[in-house]
Chain A
Amino acid sequence: MSRRWLIDNQGLFFMAPAMILFVVFVLYPIFYIFNASLYDWDGVNEAVFIGLQNYIEMFTDDRSFALSIRNSLYWTFLTIFPQMFLGFILAHTLTSGIPLQNVFRIIFFMPAIVSPVVLGIIWQRIYAPFGGLLADVGLETGARFLIQPYLADPKIAIFSTIFVNVWQWTGFSMLMYVAGLQGLPGEVLSAAEVDGAGALQRIVYIVLPLLRHVHLTLILLGVIGALQTFALVYMLTKGGPNHATEMLPTYIFQKAFTLQSMGYASAVAVVLLLIALGASIFQVRALGSRFTIGG
């Protein structure tokens, strides 16, 4: 390497620590799971090469895997859109100059900074069928529909879990919209008001289109968030009852560390990785190529 080359590429020295960490803890693990997914391996004994057998089993004969794919879809759609809708309404209200709006912003954002482990344990007591908050409110007020086996009924457990997630992350959407609303050009809005546009018209035709980059960021973060959900599900239901709330991450964990099937877990991880990459590429392509976080 010549001196000239080193001077021209001195940026590489600045980049080196980040590159090394990236190679060891991101790039190598990606190769690792692709390779490990082709083996029958318990993590201790000699791994046996079995080709695509793990994938064939996953897609033809694995109910838990199918359920975790279904749940990921529920999770993605039932989190992102309610969160954006509610987050925007809150952000709009909390930038309109009502009293204490900064305090309200902190309150709505607070669940986002609390550990999902903590929230999981709290919500278990809210959902508990005997002595739980919702059940007892139902008993006292006669609103008996509140008495439900929220986490024990395989039909509703996934929705109860998603509800907690929406509650936790709506404040984050709100904060992103607050940041976006504060960056809007005020002249455009006042001009529209002078021209006689009503409040709702201004929101629908001017504000929402101008916040396009915030919508896109929230969708992208929402998809990734849905795909990597682990702690909340693990604490609330451990993926049960009978895999009804299984997500791909809880399934990977169970296969790898409870059932000692490192090879099979790696195959599930490969599928999760491909879904995540596919979803991000699709979004960047379909929703706007100018979008990058930051950019």
Chain B
Amino acid sequence: MRRRAAKTVAFVFVSLLALIWLVPIIMMLVVSFMPPDQRAPRFGGMLIKGVSLRNYVTVFEDAEIVQHFINSMAVTAPSVVLVVLISSLAAFALARLRFFARDIWFYLLIMTLMLPIPTLVVPIFQINKALGLNDNYLGLILPYTALGVPFAIVILRSFFAGFLREIEEAAILDGCTPFGIYWRIMMPVSWPAVAVVIIWQFMTSWNEFILALVTMNSVEVKPLTLVPLVYSGQFMMRPGPMFAILTLITIPVIVVYYLMQRFMVSGLTSGAVRG
């Protein structure tokens, strides 16, 4: 009986906290549906007189929101694919092959995880300038990939290292090359770890801000993350359209997270949280 009571108390406590926790997200949605004729909204706009889709129409009419969405995709999707390929190759080599200075390379790559990205913003800006990659998707794809690879290697390497060696030894006896072991034996069964890498890289690339801010100067190539700044002047006095933009930016990450979240806990346990 005492346990039942304790569980009820915990449930009520968590429910209340969850409700408070969601207030900013609810606010984003509510303000985005605010009728345009409502002036001086109170409670930050939490109380609206009726629901209107007008703000979304305004956003699609006045802002190139579809173009910005395509820009975000054009940067994020290639960086996710490249990170999965490049880091899984490297993680396989680090887990299974011997080569010159292997441990040194591993520690150098891991060191990148400790590197605050803003330290790199000046040199990456200059590298892109020298290569003519400012205002170019590649100017973000390459650094996002480079910065995403180390975390992905950590996750994938510990996953690969946990495999039974007997299967690989049998494959080698049958004449399988190391690349064959990587591509035909290990990758097909590594989807839980690959899923974590995909979610993580998708979210970090989609939400990345400082490099995008200095690399993309022309409005036509700006990803969604810069859109609030682009239209902050235009929609300054109109929170409705601005919050519709915020909602539209957020939907893709929520969808990807929701589709992938069941892998997240198991992936973190197998990879990131191993002492």
Contact = CB atoms under 8 A, between A and B. Distances in A.
Interface of A: 8-12, 14-15, 17-19, 21-22, 24-30, 32-33, 36, 43, 90, 93-94, 96-100, 104, 106-111, 113-119, 121-123, 125-126, 128, 131-133, 136-137, 167, 175-176, 178-180, 182-183, 212-214, 216-217, 220, 224, 227-228, 230-231, 234-235, 248-249, 252-253, 256-257, 262, 265-266, 269-270, 272-273, 276-277, 279-280, 290-295
Contact of B118 (A12, A132, A248): A248
Contacts of B155: 294
Interface string B202-235: 0100110110011000000000011011000000
A99 B11 contact: yes
B119 A18 contact: no
A293 B268 CA distance: 10
B33 interface: no
B158 interface: yes
Contact of B250 (A115, A182, A213): A115
Given A8-B99, A125-B44, A136-B43, A15 B89 contact: yes
Contacts of A125: 27, 31, 44-45, 239
Contacts of B213: 253
A131 B178 contact: no
B241 interface: no
A150 B238 CA distance: 22
A179 B269 contact: yes
B250 A253 contact: no
A132 B45 CA distance: 8
Interface stretch (B18-26, B54-62, B63-71, B168-176): B18-26
A121 B40 CA distance: 17
B214 A257 contact: yes
B249 interface: yes
Interface in B74-100: 85-87, 89-90, 92-94, 97-100
B48 interface: no
Contacts of A110: 22, 25, 254, 257
20 contacts: A9-B98, A11-B97, A11-B99, A19-B90, A96-B10, A98-B11, A113-B254, A117-B225, A117-B229, A118-B228, A125-B239, A126-B23, A180-B269, A216-B275, A224-B114, A230-B117, A272-B116, A276-B115, A294-B272, A295-B274
Nearest to B226: A117
A15 B105 contact: yes
Given A26-B115, A115-B253, A14 B182 contact: yes
Contact of A133 (B46, B124, B249): B46
B190 interface: no
A224 B113 contact: yes
Interface of B: 7, 10-11, 13-15, 17-18, 21-25, 27-28, 31, 40-46, 85-87, 89-90, 92-94, 97-100, 102, 105, 108-127, 142-143, 145-147, 149-151, 153-155, 157-158, 178-179, 182, 203, 206-207, 209-210, 213-214, 225-226, 228-229, 239, 242-243, 246, 249-250, 253-254, 257-258, 261, 264-266, 268-269, 271-275
A273 B115 CA distance: 7
Contact of A256 (B40, B89, B122, B268): B122
Please report whether the interface of chain A is mostly helix, strand, loop or mixed according to DSSP: helix
Contacts of A249: 116, 118, 210
A191 to B, nearest CB: 19
B88 to A, nearest CB: 9
Contact of B146 (A26, A133, A220): A26
B43 A276 contact: no
The 8 closest A-B pairs by CB, nearest first: A213-B275, A11-B99, A11-B97, A249-B118, A29-B123, A133-B44, A228-B116, A14-B93
A121 B115 contact: no
A199 B252 CA distance: 41
Contacts of A22: 108-109, 112, 146, 149-150
Contacts of B92: 14
A134 B233 CA distance: 25
A36 B125 CA distance: 13
B233 to A, nearest CB: 14
B11 A121 contact: no
A9 B246 contact: no
Nearest to B264: A175
